[in-house]
């Protein structure tokens, strides 16, 4: 048996055509109305349950992606029961053992695949924050601990998010129930990330009346003075003297882990790309390569003796 369909529009008391602003307004109104601090012990559990429903409805309807998914399901629901989930939890689905904050219906709708370690539904709520974190290539390879500050929305501490102080509006937030706060976030960035990698920091988003959203960090790699980025591979230029290229030698090459010596084979031409395997980006064991592009260099000036030797060399080769 599939879980019972929930009409989230009805829960929030808005029409199916409601705008984002109307949904937000309805949510705030209900969040205030059911705030536990406003009710006696006896009535608390009723309002807590009601608030759970409101939070759930808002988590779905405040996100474009979730709302459209839900709306699609809603259409088919009109013609019959909602489609059965691919993996029915404990067969009945009426009292799932998992996350108490959300209904079975919600979990069915937003569940990730069963192979995921985390059974919680994945959805993006308005309380989530998206941010971009710039890191250097060295930090991307090694991993790094980063601290940064973030503007977040939290509950007004004067009225605990209710927007009211006794019978009047809270003078601090003007009845909105929210306050902007700067928060310091410190997090470990694991090694092996690349541009566009996303990290979810649970509970580091905005604070709502009942729960905190998450912070989603998208990694952006900073340009590097020595390395050009090509997917997981890196490229760098190294200059060698003509005689070193002609006779073969060893050249100092920068890598993200410091300089290494690279063997330059005898008779190397300008533009030759030599590969240092596993010195690119990525996780240990899966790292890309570093390509070293050889450029033949000429000293700015020669001594009289060196010039004479070069002349001799020219005559030797060209006759």
* Distance in angstroms (rounded) separating the CA atoms of residues 258 and 138: 10
Q: Should residue 156 be labelled a site residue for Zn ion when binding is judged by CB under 5 A?
A: yes
Write down the least CB distance from residue 101 to Zn ion, Å: 25
We find the least distance from the C-beta atom of residue 33 to Zn ion, in angstroms, to be: 15
CB of 34 to Zn ion, least distance (A): 17
User: Strands, DSSP E only, in 168-227?
Assistant: 168-169, 178-189, 198-201, 215-221
Cβ contacts of 306 within 8 Å, gap of 6 or more: none
* DSSP-based three-state secondary structure for 70: helix
Q: Using CB under 5 A, which residues numbered 279 to 308 contact Zn ion?
A: none
Write down the least CB distance from residue 38 to Zn ion, Å. 13
Stretch 158-177: interaction string toward Zn ion, x if CB under 5 A: xx----------x-xx----
CA distance 138 to 144: 9
State the distance between the two ends of the chain, measured CA to CA, in whole angstroms: 94
Residue placing its CB nearer to Zn ion in the complex, 20 or 37: 37
In terms of CB distance, is 158 or 249 closer to Zn ion?
Answer: 158
In whole angstroms, the minimum distance from the beta carbon of 175 to Zn ion comes to: 7
Report how far Cα 317 is from the mean position of its chain's Cα atoms.
Answer: 60
Q: Determine, following the binding rule CB under 5 A, whether residue 30 of this chain makes contact with Zn ion.
A: no
Token readout for 268 is 């190397």
Size of the residue set binding Zn ion (CB under 5 A): 6
How far are the Cα atoms of 11, 23, 24, 125, 226 from residue 28, in angstroms, in the given order?
A: 13, 9, 6, 14, 51
Give 121 or 163: the residue with its C-beta nearer to Zn ion: 163
Residue 113-152 contact track with Zn ion, rule CB under 5 A, x = bound: ----------------------------------------
Shortest distance (Å) from residue 207 CB to Zn ion = 13
Gyration radius of the chain's alpha carbons = 31
**Per-residue CA distances from 156 to 169, 211, 222 (Å):** 12, 14, 37
Q: Which residues bind Zn ion (CB under 5 A)?
A: 156, 158-159, 170, 172-173
């Amino acid at each position: 048996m599939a879980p019972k369909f929930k009409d989230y529009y009805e829960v929030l008391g808005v029409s199916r055509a409601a705008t984002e602003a109307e949904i937000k307004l309805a949510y705030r109104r209900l969040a205030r109305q059911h705030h536990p601090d406003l009710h006696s012990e006896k009535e608390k559990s009723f309002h807590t349950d009601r608030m759970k429903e409101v939070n759930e409805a808002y988590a779905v309807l405040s996100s474009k992606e979730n709302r459209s998914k839900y709306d699609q399901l809603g259409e088919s629901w009109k013609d019959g029961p909602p489609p059965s989930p691919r993996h029915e939890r404990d067969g009945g689905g009426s009292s799932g053992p998992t996350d108490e904050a959300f209904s079975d219906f919600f979990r069915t709708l937003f569940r990730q695949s069963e192979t995921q370690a985390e059974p919680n539904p994945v959805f993006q709520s308005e309380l989530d924050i998206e941010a971009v974190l710039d890191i250097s290539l060295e930090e991307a390879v090694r991993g790094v601990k980063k601290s940064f500050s973030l503007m977040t929305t939290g509950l007004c501490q004067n009225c605990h998010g209710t927007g009211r102080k006794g019978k009047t509006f809270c003078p601090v937030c003007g009845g909105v129930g929210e306050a902007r706060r700067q928060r310091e976030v410190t997090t470990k960035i694991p090694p092996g990330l690349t541009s566009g990698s996303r990290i979810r920091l649970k509970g580091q988003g905005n604070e709502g009346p009942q729960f905190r959203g998450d912070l989603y960090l998208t990694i952006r790699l900073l340009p590097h003075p020595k390395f050009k980025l090509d997917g997981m591979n890196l490229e760098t230029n190294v200059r060698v003297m003509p005689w070193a290229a002609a006779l073969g030698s060893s050249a100092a090459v920068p890598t993200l882990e410091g300089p290494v010596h690279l063997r330059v084979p005898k008779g190397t031409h300008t533009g030759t790309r030599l590969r240092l395997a596993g010195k690119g980006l990525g996780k240990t064991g899966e790292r890309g390569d570093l390509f070293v592009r050889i450029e033949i260099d000429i000293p700015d000036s020669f001594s009289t003796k060196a010039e004479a030797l070069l002349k001799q060399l020219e005559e030797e080769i060209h006759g």
